[in-house]
């Protein structure tokens, strides 16, 4: 124990989440898929997509907002274009199917896509695109979320925080991974601040009157500040096209909350693209030379380097998780019974 936190190994963390979800009636395959994703996010240092989500997931399973017995349906309307219906279940089992199918399709066709509809919160996109890169393909992913960002110049939220992620295999070591929320920070960080009774930095969010706030409760009732001002909201619109218009999923304005057990199902979407590096151009060597050039510049930091360091540290030393989340997970069996 240290200042309200507890150290726990990755294996213990996954087992704890699996046990909690099983007790809520989530089948083993889905429970293990969710546990792997939450713990992987926690290992990256993305606590807003880790243990902090478990109680909300469990409450939504109990209310029926998440379908624990969802039957993921994968179809291929075009040879290298997959469509996946997540059946209002957890996003992670649908993502597992997409990633397993995309790499061999990309190897055969050069590029392959997968659109996921009737989905839910998909956590840290970095976790998913890294898995594609580990299979030898360049991966991109787009995901929409419940409305929380206003178009630039407006006050009414229309877009979600709508993250974009990208991963490239490297000749040695972990892949290059870039994961960007199109708000200044992921909304999950604001939710985490609310649950742990912390203020948020000014500049993250606006209240319902459009004024800057450090109160996470007011921030969740207001809007998130986009990255890059108008450029950020233009990218958020692009994500809506990929993740919702291309998949048949709900647009952000129609998506129910990821946080509450009441209300409409989110029905959000994800869109993944896998590119097989072309032969004969020396892709791996050229990409590696570019990344090394970044690393060698004084003062520069390769995107994703802190993520890789955090994962390595977590593997060696375990995760440091707030006790309140671990206690909630340990009590969940009785609560869900």
* Of the candidate ranges 3-7, 28-32, 244-248, 322-326, the one whose mean pLDDT is the lowest: 3-7
CA 268 – CA 133 distance, rounded (Å): 24
- Residue 275 has what pLDDT? 98
pLDDT at residue 332, as a whole number: 85
Q: Which of 81-90, 123-132, 184-193, 312-321 has the lowest mean pLDDT?
A: 184-193
Burial class (CB in 10 A: 0-12, 13-18, 19+), 336: middle
Q: What is the pTM of this model?
A: 0.92
| Per-residue pLDDT band at 208 (split at 50, 70, 90) | confident
Do 242 and 226 meet the contact criterion of CB atoms below 8 Å apart?
Answer: no
Q: Say yes or no to pLDDT of 3 above 70.
A: no
Amino acid 150: pLDDT: 92
State the chain's mean pLDDT as an integer: 94
Confidence of residue 98 (pLDDT cuts 50, 70, 90): very high
CA distance 118 to 86: 5
pLDDT for 153 equals: 87
Q: Which residues contact 68 (CB under 8 A, 6 or more apart)?
A: 24, 25, 26, 27, 30, 61, 89, 90
What is the model's pLDDT at position 336? Answer: 57
Residue 320 has pLDDT above 50, yes or no: yes
- Supply the pLDDT for residue 35: 98
φ and ψ of 211, to 5 deg? -100, 145
> Minimal CA–CA distance to 19: which of 331, 335, 333, 337?
333
Predicted pLDDT of residue 309: 94
pLDDT tens track for 33-55: 999 999 999 999 998 899 999 99
What's residue 1's pLDDT?
A: 43
Per-residue pLDDT reduced to its tens digit, 140-168: 999 999 999 999 988 899 999 999 999 99
Place of tokens 């993305």: 46
Mean pLDDT confidence for 186-210: 87
Structure tokens at 264: 């409409």
Neighbours of 227 (CB within 10 A): 18
pLDDT over 70 for what percent of the chain? 98
- Listed in sequence order, the DSSP H helices in 164-304 are 187-195, 216-221, 230-240, 283-296
3-state secondary structure 46-108: CHHHCHHHHHHHHHHHHHCCCCCCCCCEEEEEECCEEEEECCCCCHHHHHHHHHHHHHHHHHH
End-to-end CA distance of the chain: 28
**Is 70 exceeded by the pLDDT of residue 2?**
no
pLDDT tens digit sequence for 250-266: 999 999 999 999 999 99
pLDDT of residue 337 exceeding 60: no
- In angstroms, the CA 169 to CA 322 distance is 33
Give the integer Cα–Cα distance in Å for 248 and 232: 23
pLDDT exceeds cutoff 80 at 59: yes
Of 148, 155, 167, 184, residue with least CA distance to 99: 167
pLDDT of residue 248: 98
Q: Which of 109, 311, 84, 243 is nearest to 254 (CA)?
A: 243
**Residue position matching structure tokens 């972990």:** 174
> Mean pLDDT throughout 86-104?
98
């Amino acid at each position: 124990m240290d200042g309200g936190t507890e150290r726990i190994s990755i294996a213990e963390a996954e087992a704890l989440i699996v046990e909690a979800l099983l007790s809520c009636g989530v089948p083993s395959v889905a429970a293990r898929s969710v546990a792997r994703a939450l713990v992987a996010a926690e290992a990256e240092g993305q606590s807003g997509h880790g243990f902090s989500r478990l109680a909300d997931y469990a409450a939504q399973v109990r209310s029926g907002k998440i379908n624990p017995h969802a039957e993921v349906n994968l179809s291929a309307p075009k040879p290298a274009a997959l469509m996946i219906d997540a059946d209002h279940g957890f996003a992670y089992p649908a993502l597992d199917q997409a990633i397993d199918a995309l790499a061999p399709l990309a190897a055969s066709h050069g590029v392959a896509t997968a659109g996921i509809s009737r989905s839910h919160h998909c956590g840290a996109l970095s976790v998913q695109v890294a898995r594609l890169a580990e299979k030898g393909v360049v991966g991109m992913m787009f995901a929409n979320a419940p409305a929380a960002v206003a178009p630039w110049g407006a006050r009414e939220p229309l877009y979600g925080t709508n993250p974009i992620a990208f991963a490239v295999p490297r000749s040695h070591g972990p892949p290059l991974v870039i994961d960007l929320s199109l708000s200044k920070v992921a909304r999950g960080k604001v939710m985490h601040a609310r649950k742990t009774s912390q203020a948020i930095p000014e500049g993250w969010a606006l209240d319902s009157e459009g004024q800057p706030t450090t109160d996470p409760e007011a921030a969740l009732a207001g809007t998130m500040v986009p990255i890059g001002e108008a450029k950020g909201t233009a990218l958020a619109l692009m994500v809506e096209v990929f993740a919702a218009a291309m998949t048949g999923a709900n647009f952000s304005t129609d998506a129910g909350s990821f946080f509450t057990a009441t209300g409409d199902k989110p029905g959000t979407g994800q869109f993944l693209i896998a590119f097989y590096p072309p032969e004969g151009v020396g892709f791996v060597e050229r990409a590696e030379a570019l990344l090394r050039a970044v690393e060698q510049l004084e003062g520069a930091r390769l995107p994703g380097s802190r993520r890789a360091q955090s994962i390595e540290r977590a593997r060696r030393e375990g995760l440091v998780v707030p006790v309140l989340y671990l206690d909630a997970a340990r009590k969940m069996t009785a609560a869900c019974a």
